[in-house]
């Protein structure tokens, strides 16, 4: 098969993976090497549906021995199959890099023979790029659950970021639609990566080898099963806490040809993906817990308003918050006040009383925030 045809098939097959954002890595240019994530760095360029486009994003192969029902590349799918050799991926990456098309490589794969065999092929690509071609650009490698710790260790030494996709939010969902995968095997791989990252970070030796300096991430498909946002966010919270993930990417389920009858005929509304990202942000940076945002009585996010406003309207007893006396944690719960604004308010009030006009100068959307707060000149 022609290389161009393979590229068309394997780039198209990779588009379903959303977990390819590339921030957080600082890999300087090597003497006589090619590529760097510093200087101009990685361009954070995304398609309208949120996919990163600054990387060469491909599968090594779309042949797969697993039969995950939500996946177009599953064993029982009749899609056209193609495979690159590791050498072909290396050549493509270097060629695209020299033409200034890309800043790095996002390489995933169907499972060939076994998770370890597949990982060996991906590692061969990364090793060749780093050692033979002194490639200093960004590399993100995907690992399949069940891969050995030894291979993860080698992969992390070449890659800027590693990811193991959780794919579905619960063990119940995996058992139904991806029986070859289990939550314990997925989390075991995540735990291994996290352990190596922490060991490397805490190693005081100046010669310590880098290990996945941009951390690790995962992708969760939303809407392939009836699982609620409450369970999705509970799983995401657990993964952040237990395995130190840099990001959980939420990807709306895309209908696939000849799909299993248990799968929905349509994608969930894109607003659901958007609201999950907002809730995820609140959990990571605003001190909310998944349990506060949703409950058994109300297990799905309101698609008509952002989750912070929804929480505020459901907890009117918490407001108004006095911007001149409230602790940071309380200020972060006021709709319209972001992390940076709260920092500025805290700095300002050390010197003088904060008034509504001050908030306007800080570009706070006053009409949105005012019903929930008290300033020196506005009392409710
Ligand atoms: S292991 Fe990956 S490529 Fe294979 S069927 Fe499952 S999701 Fe698709």
> Which tens digit of pLDDT belongs to each residue from 17-30?
766 554 445 555 55
Residue 294, pLDDT score: 94
Query: Shortest CA distance to 130 belongs to which of 102, 104, 101, 96?
Result: 104
What atom in ligand 1 is closest to the CA of residue 64? 4
Residue 353, pLDDT score: 96
Q: Give the mean model confidence (pLDDT) for residues 264-276.
A: 94
Ligand 1 pocket test, candidate residues 14, 111, 122, most atoms within 8 A of CB:
111
Q: pLDDT digit string (tens) for 69-94?
A: 999 999 999 999 999 999 999 999 99
102 lines ligand 1 (CB under 6 A): no
Q: Enter the tokens of residue 189.
A: 């791989």
- In 3-state terms, what secondary structure has residue 247? strand
Residue 37, pLDDT score: 47
Q: Enter the tokens of residue 163.
A: 């990811």
Minimum CA distance residue for ligand 1 atom 3: 110
pLDDT value at 303 more than 50? yes
Q: Give the C-alpha distances (Å, rounded to integers) separating 212 from 104, 189, 278.
A: 14, 14, 26
> Which H or E run includes 245?
none
Per-residue confidence band for 34, with pLDDT thresholds at 50, 70 and 90: low
Residue 33, pLDDT score: 60
Q: Give the mean model confidence (pLDDT) for residues 157-162.
A: 94
Q: Give the mean model confidence (pLDDT) for residues 168-191.
A: 96
- In 3-state terms, what secondary structure has residue 251? strand
ipTM above 0.90, yes or no: yes
What atom in ligand 1 is closest to the CA of residue 167? 7
Q: Give the mean model confidence (pLDDT) for residues 119-138.
A: 96
Residue 52, pLDDT score: 53
Concatenated DSSP letters of 79-115: PPP-B--HHHHHHHHHHHHHTTS-SEEEEE----SSH
Q: pLDDT digit string (tens) for 305-317?
A: 999 999 999 999 9
What atom in ligand 1 is closest to the CA of residue 73? 8
Residue 363, pLDDT score: 95
Per the DSSP assignment, residues forming a β-bridge with 249 are: 219
Ligand 1 centroid to 180 CA: how many Å? Answer: 10
Q: Report the range of poorest mean pLDDT among 46-60, 140-154, 247-261.
A: 46-60
Q: Report the range of poorest mean pLDDT among 14-18, 158-162, 339-343.
A: 14-18
Residue 22, pLDDT score: 43
Q: What are the phi and psi torsion angles at 57 (to 5°)?
A: -110, 105
Q: Give the mean model confidence (pLDDT) for residues 115-136.
A: 96
Ligand 1 centroid to 88 CA: how many Å? Answer: 22
Residue 28, pLDDT score: 54
110 lines ligand 1 (CB under 6 A): yes
- In 3-state terms, what secondary structure has residue 76? coil
Task: Report whether the peptide linkage leading into residue 320 is cis, meaning its omega lies within 30 degrees of zero.
Answer: yes
147 lines ligand 1 (CB under 6 A): no
Q: Give the mean model confidence (pLDDT) for residues 169-179.
A: 96
Give the chain's mean pLDDT.
Answer: 89
**CA pair distance 163, 119, nearest whole angstrom:** 12
Minimum CA distance residue for ligand 1 atom 2: 110
- Percent pLDDT > 90 in the chain is 74
Q: Give the mean model confidence (pLDDT) for residues 172-189.
A: 96
**CA pair distance 11, 57, nearest whole angstrom:** 6
Q: Give the C-alpha distances (Å, rounded to integers) separating 215 from 60, 151, 209, 274.
A: 22, 17, 14, 23
Q: Report the range of poorest mean pLDDT among 10-24, 208-222, 273-287.
A: 10-24
């Amino acid at each position: 098969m022609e290389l161009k045809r393979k590229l068309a098939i394997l780039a198209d097959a990779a588009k379903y993976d959303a977990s390819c954002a590339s921030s957080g890595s600082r890999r300087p240019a090597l003497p006589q090497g090619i590529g760097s994530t510093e200087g101009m760095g990685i361009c954070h360029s995304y398609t309208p549906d949120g996919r990163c486009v600054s990387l060469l994003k491909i599968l090594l192969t779309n042949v797969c021995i697993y039969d995950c029902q939500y996946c177009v590349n599953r064993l029982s799918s009749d899609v056209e199959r193609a495979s690159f050799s590791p050498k072909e991926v290396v050549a493509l990456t270097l060629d695209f890099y020299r033409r200034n098309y890309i800043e790095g490589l996002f390489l995933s794969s169907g499972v060939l023979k076994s998770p370890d065999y597949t990982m060996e092929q991906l590692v061969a690509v990364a090793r060749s790029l780093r050692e033979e071609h002194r490639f200093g650009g960004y590399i993100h490698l995907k690992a399949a659950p069940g891969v050995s710790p030894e291979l993860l260790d080698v992969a992390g030494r070449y890659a800027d970021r590693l990811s193991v996709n959780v794919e579905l939010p619960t063990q119940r969902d995996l058992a139904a639609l991806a029986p070859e995968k289990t939550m314990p095997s997925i989390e075991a791989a995540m735990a291994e990566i996290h352990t190596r990252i922490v060991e490397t970070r805490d190693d005081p030796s100046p010669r310590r080898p880098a290990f996945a300096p941009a951390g690790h991430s995962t992708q969760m498909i939303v809407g392939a099963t009836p699982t609620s946002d409450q369970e999705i966010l509970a799983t995401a919270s657990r993964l952040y806490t237990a395995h130190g993930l840099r990001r959980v990417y939420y990807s709306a389920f895309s209908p696939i040809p000849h799909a299993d009858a248990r799968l929905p005929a349509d994608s969930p509304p894109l607003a659901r993906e958007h609201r999950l990202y907002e809730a995820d942000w609140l959990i990571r940076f605003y001190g909310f817990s998944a349990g506060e945002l949703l409950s058994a009585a109300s297990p799905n996010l309101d698609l008509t308003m952002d989750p912070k406003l929804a929480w505020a309207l459901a907890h009117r007893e918490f407001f108004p918050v006095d911007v001149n006396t409230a602790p940071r944690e309380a200020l972060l719960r006021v709709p319209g006040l972001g992390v940076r604004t709260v920092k500025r308010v805290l700095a300002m009030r050390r010197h003088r009383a904060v008034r509504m006009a001050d908030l306007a100068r800080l570009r706070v959307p006053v009409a949105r925030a005012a019903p929930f707060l008290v300033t020196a000149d506005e009392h409710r």
